[in-house]
Structure 1
């Protein structure tokens, strides 16, 4: 049993569970004519989630009047798809962040507006599992609402999926995507090459850069092969110096130390890439 604390609309209310924890309850007509303090039985609840953070709860409440019943149900079911497909405990902020994003995307579409996704290809390569989930979510939304969201929305939703799974903020994820794009620009400029975004070389490069960034953020120590470092420094000075230039950019952006061993592995990757263009 749940105890009603506040009715948000006919289908959504805030209640208190048996542990005196506030929960969001969703069900068709669950809030109709309900009064504060009234009991709600479990069989009336279709969906339940917890928003422990007061700010997140208030932000969610502000979004509700902007949605009709069909859109709200679609978004809630979309989050359920993400939870089931990822088989992970999602950061509770996904309820607010994804609701806000899908509401904005659908509203934008109805007005004939479209926002381009500058990181679509990078997102697909960096987060392939999340991207597949994003494809399923967009397909579900399109069928449920009889609309046609553009392909770029798959990438945006994939980032929200990654954010919910990894517990990283969207702003940080976007910052890392921007950093990778900047690093690739430097690589292309220094090696005087142009890497096709559709090529396997591009995918391998951005994944290598992503894993490097992840190790730096997690403070993972990488053993440095000194003999290989000296050999690479002597044999491939262009790529070795470029690797250090990239590392300095990472350090400035991430505000974290990058272990010297990363320069060795980055040099080897850059040299293999450079050989393909010679």
Structure 2
């Protein structure tokens, strides 16, 4: 690629061997360059084909509404986050997150904070992405001398979740969170107790529910043959109340989600319900 012109030190217009123009982003990619200079591929962190489209207009608007220091900071932030989540953000996700950060900074400077729904569930369901989000906010706060609100942890977590191929997209993540909360509320109401959200057993239950829900969405329920029949009878008898509530959960998701829950799934739910409603926690 050959350099055409500078937008700022981190953003340039280039042209490839097929005469196609691109906007490229990379740390110091424009520094000291003159028209016609070669651009080394390793210098490019993101590239966007410069052709008329609604998406490209959005890309241009987003990039050029941000100053060079902010773009460089977000590039570094995303690079470190990608190492944590093990996935490279697609260009579309990158631009969406860039836009989000830009507006988050503007809201913060104006003293505006949006509340983040299902913060706890997001933290527990997506620990790797949440860790990356906390790291990202800490980096931006230190680098830019700002103080982004805690609610951004949840918002940025969901950006990292949504960026991953082959995993739950943002809409599915919202659905998973909603169903987890519905089940937890049902169990709490049945026992008429407030569940300890910081307990180990609660965390284990949420983790189990996440994979339980994903299995249902993907039509991958546990087969009834995977548990010994005698063991199934022992669990039913020993944890009778928890088993009844598990059956209630099964009926609720059948009505709400049209899912048919296998007896094995019910038994695993029984064990988790018994643990999360017990006084003692490991």
Instruction: Give 1:183 shift.
Output: 1.5
Note the aligned Cα RMSD (angstroms).
3.5
TM-score with structure 1 setting the length: 0.80
Distance 2:257 2:3 in 1: 46
Structure 2 residue matching 1:63: 3-state secondary structure:
helix
Mapping for residues 224-239 of structure 1, pairs under 5 Å: 224=224, 225=227, 227=229, 228-233=231-236, 236-239=239-242
Residues paired across the two proteins, number = 272
1:195 corresponds in structure 2 to 195
Distance 1:171 1:267 in 2: 28
1:47 corresponds in structure 2 to 44
- Post-superposition CA distance 1:75-118 (Å, at most 9, x none): 22222112233332434432122112212211110001112223
Of 83-92 and 202-211, the range deviating more from structure 2: 83-92
Specify whether residues 13 and 242 from structure 1 end up closer, same or farther in structure 2 by C-alpha distance, changes over 3 A only.
Answer: farther
Specify whether residues 120 and 20 from structure 1 end up closer, same or farther in structure 2 by C-alpha distance, changes over 3 A only.
Answer: farther
The one of 258, 265, 270 aligned to 2:268: 265
Mapping for residues 1-278 of structure 1, pairs under 5 Å: 1-2=1-2, 9-10=7-8, 11-13=10-12, 15=14, 17=16, 24-27=23-26, 28=28, 30=30, 39=36, 41-43=38-40, 46-50=43-47, 56-166=55-165, 167-224=167-224, 225=227, 227=229, 228-233=231-236, 236-250=239-253, 258-276=261-279
Return 5+ residue gaps in structure 1 as ranges. Answer: none
Structure 2 residue matching 1:93: 3-state secondary structure:
helix
Contact kept, 8 Å, 2:116 with 2:155, in 1: the verdict is yes
TM-score with structure 2 setting the length: 0.79
Specify whether residues 138 and 255 from structure 1 end up closer, same or farther in structure 2 by C-alpha distance, changes over 3 A only.
Answer: farther
Structure 1 residue matching 2:195: 3-state secondary structure:
coil
Specify whether residues 249 and 67 from structure 1 end up closer, same or farther in structure 2 by C-alpha distance, changes over 3 A only.
Answer: farther
Of 10-19 and 218-227, the range deviating more from structure 2: 10-19
Structure 1 residue matching 2:196: 3-state secondary structure:
coil
Structure 2 residue matching 1:25: 3-state secondary structure:
strand
Specify whether residues 89 and 45 from structure 1 end up closer, same or farther in structure 2 by C-alpha distance, changes over 3 A only.
Answer: closer
- Post-superposition CA distance 1:161-188 (Å, at most 9, x none): 2222355332321222122112111110
Distance 1:217 1:143 in 2: 40
Provide runs of 4+ in structure 1 moved above 6 Å.
Answer: 19-22, 31-34
Distance 2:253 2:61 in 1: 38
Distance 2:244 2:43 in 1: 59
Specify whether residues 23 and 256 from structure 1 end up closer, same or farther in structure 2 by C-alpha distance, changes over 3 A only.
Answer: farther
Contact kept, 8 Å, 1:60 with 1:95, in 2: the verdict is no
Instruction: Give 1:265 shift.
Output: 0.8
Specify whether residues 265 and 31 from structure 1 end up closer, same or farther in structure 2 by C-alpha distance, changes over 3 A only.
Answer: same
Instruction: Give 1:189 shift.
Output: 0.5
